[in-house]
Amino acid sequence: MATPHIGAEKGDFAPAVLMPGDPRRAERMAHQLMDDAKLVTDVRGILGFTGTVNGKPLSVMASGMGQPSLAIYVNELFMHYDVERIIRVGTCGGLSPRVKVGDVVIANGAHYEGVINTYIAPNIHYSAVADYQLVRAAADAAAGDENVVVAPVVSRDRFYGVDMAENKALADAGTMGVEMEAGALYGLAAQYGKQALAVLTVSDHLFDSSADMSAEERENNFQRALKLAVAAAHC
């Protein structure tokens, strides 16, 4: 039975879902990975596909931009479609000099400024962390790749109007990138007893804009991250 925001039937999604933000990127990933990719939902232009990779079922579905949008789809996938793990495959802005444009961050945690996770424990600053099994699988798949780092990111609800001094302080404390989805994903997965991970390509750098990717490059340059995400999906 379809949900308010997903047009698929029960059983249409695999236990593991790769989740980019952009619907066009979701379509590109699905057809690159799966010769048998089938469109299972397109409500509001948010595309979802299911097929197989090396004989194992896999789904790819977009989340839209930002944590409120992602939270709608994550809730419905976990509640109604028996999805067990979601791996965000997206982009982030680099914060630390330890990463450059084109590198990949396996986000083992996500500092989160928004309100979605405050409902877990209103008087506690909840720590939004990735599932260790998925982090380990992605890290093992990246073994020897100097362009991949395992580290925290910060997940914001604001794209504009952010205090750069705060970003600098986060970078100095070991935060590699800034993005807009992982924090809520990790919190929701924990609430449902599910697994989640974000594997993020650095598409621009907040303190060095000389090599920022174009919109077209952001859509296409996800191969390294995609390989690691598939390893986590099927670990």
What is the pLDDT confidence band of residue 47, given thresholds at 50, 70 and 90? very high
* Distance in angstroms (rounded) separating the CA atoms of residues 86 and 44: 20
Q: Does a structural domain hold residue 162?
A: yes
Confidence bin at 151 (pLDDT 50/70/90) = very high
Q: Flag whether 3 is in a domain.
A: no
**Interacting residues of 102 by C-beta distance below 8 A, sequence separation 6+:** 147, 201, 202, 211, 213, 221
In a domain, 176, yes or no: yes
Q: Report yes or no on 5 lying in a domain.
A: no
In a domain, 115, yes or no: yes
Q: Supply the pLDDT for residue 69.
A: 96
- Please name every residue paired with 48 in a beta bridge, in sequence order, or none if there are none: 41, 61
pLDDT confidence tier of residue 218, bands split at 50, 70 and 90: low
pLDDT-based confidence at residue 119 (cuts at 50, 70, 90): confident
Which one is predicted more confidently, 70 or 161? 70
Residue 194: inside a domain: yes
User: Could you give the C-alpha distances from 108 to 161, 183, 213, 219, in angstroms and in order?
Assistant: 26, 11, 24, 23
User: Which residues have a catalytic role annotated?
Assistant: 204
103: Cβ contacts below 8 Å, ≥ 6 apart: 94, 147, 148, 149, 201, 202
Q: Let me know if residue 205 belongs to a domain.
A: yes
192 burial level (CB within 10 Å; 0-12, 13-18, 19+) = middle
- Inform me whether the pLDDT recorded for 38 exceeds 90: yes
Q: What is the mean predicted confidence (pLDDT) over 34-51?
A: 97
pLDDT over threshold 90, residue 220: no
| Residue of 96, 92, 94, 93 whose CA lies nearest to 174 | 96
- pLDDT at residue 219 above 70? no
**Statement: residue 116 has pLDDT above 90:** no
- Whether residue 1 lies inside any domain: the answer is no
What single string gives the DSSP state of each residue in 12-72? SS-SEEEE-S-HHHHHHHHHHH-TT-EEEE-GGG--EEEEEETTEEEEEE---SSHHHHHH
Question: Would strands 195-205 and 104-112 be described as parallel, antiparallel, or unpaired?
Answer: antiparallel
Q: What is the pLDDT of residue 124?
A: 83
What's the mean pLDDT when you consider all of the chain? 93
Model confidence band, residue 217 (pLDDT cutoffs 50, 70, 90): low
pLDDT range class, residue 126, cuts 50, 70, 90: confident
Q: What is the token pair recorded at 105?
A: 């961050």
Residue 230 has pLDDT above 80, yes or no: yes
Domain at 81, CATH number: 3.40.50.1580
pLDDT at 213 over 90: no
**Residue 118: Cβ-neighbour burial (10 angstroms; 0-12, 13-18, 19+):** middle
CA 73 to chain centre: 13
Q: Which residue has the higher pLDDT, 124 or 91?
A: 91
Q: What is the largest CA-CA distance in the chain?
A: 49
Would the pLDDT of 70 be above 70?
A: yes
Write out the residue range of the structural domain in which residue 49 sits: 16-234
Domains of the chain: total: 1
Stated as kind and residue range, the H or E segment containing 200 is: strand 195-205
